[in-house]
């Protein structure tokens, strides 16, 4: 304490000194609490941002609020984080709430990172990337008498079997697969 504050509090007991100091400097903690709560309640994860740094920031804000005297509790803290996630985490939120997960914020962060990695790997798997038509003709074709086409029935489509290598498909992992019917 500087000399002026010491002189003012010289004749006071410790409890009165603390109360007087709170009156003098309490507005800073209120302003800090307001700024922290404003940042926390207004946070929203944007579409392509990674979830790890975002949730770490949210946890830091929650811990700072607790330091200035505003304890949110585990459930409310988890709800705030879950509410602020993007729409791609909606299935995680449903599972988290239905299974009544009992974990701290850092364990929830690890679950969210695992879920994000799972989403990324699912997007990479099994998508058809390219449909190609091989134009090479192999050998002589035998001519067969042509049949008259009949009108397709309602709800059905005409299909035909393909020869090996006539149409190739390339899937997401780069493998080429021959189509057997169109």
- pLDDT category, 106, cuts 50, 70, 90? very high
- 9 vs 172, which has greater pLDDT? 9
Q: Measuring CA to CA, which residue among 138, 130, 141, 126 is closest to residue 166?
A: 138
pTM greater than the 0.75 cutoff: no
What pLDDT is recorded for position 131?
Answer: 47
Average pLDDT for residues 126-148, to the nearest whole number? 58
Do residues 111 and 104 lie in contact, with contact meaning Cβ atoms separated by under 8 Å?
A: no
- 11 vs 128, which has greater pLDDT? 11
Do residues 180 and 148 lie in contact, with contact meaning Cβ atoms separated by under 8 Å?
A: no
- 56 vs 169, which has greater pLDDT? 56
Name which of 18-32, 35-49, 65-79 the model is least confident about.
18-32
Average pLDDT for residues 91-105, to the nearest whole number? 88
Average pLDDT for residues 44-63, to the nearest whole number? 90
DSSP state of 4: H
Backbone angles phi, psi at 158, to 5 degrees: -75, 135
Do residues 66 and 72 lie in contact, with contact meaning Cβ atoms separated by under 8 Å?
A: yes
Flag whether pLDDT at 91 surpasses 70.
yes
């Amino acid at each position: 304490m500087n000399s002026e504050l010491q002189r003012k509090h010289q004749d006071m007991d410790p409890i009165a000194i603390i109360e007087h100091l709170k009156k003098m400097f309490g507005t800073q903690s209120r302003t800090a609490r307001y700024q922290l709560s404003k940042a926390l309640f207004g946070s929203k994860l944007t579409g392509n941002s990674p979830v790890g740094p975002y949730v770490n920031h949210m946890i830091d804000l929650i811990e700072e609020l607790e330091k200035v005297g505003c304890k949110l509790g585990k459930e409310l803290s988890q709800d705030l984080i879950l509410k602020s996630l993007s729409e791609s985490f909606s299935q995680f939120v449903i599972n988290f709430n239905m299974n009544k997960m009992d974990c701290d914020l850092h364990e929830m962060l690890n679950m969210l990172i695992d879920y994000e990695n799972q989403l990324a790997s699912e997007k990479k798997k099994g998508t058809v990337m390219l449909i190609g038509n091989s134009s090479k003709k192999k050998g002589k074709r035998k001519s067969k008498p042509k049949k008259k086409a009949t009108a397709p029935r309602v709800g059905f489509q005409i299909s035909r079997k393909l020869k090996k290598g006539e149409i190739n498909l390339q899937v997401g992992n780069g493998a080429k697969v021959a189509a057997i019917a169109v």
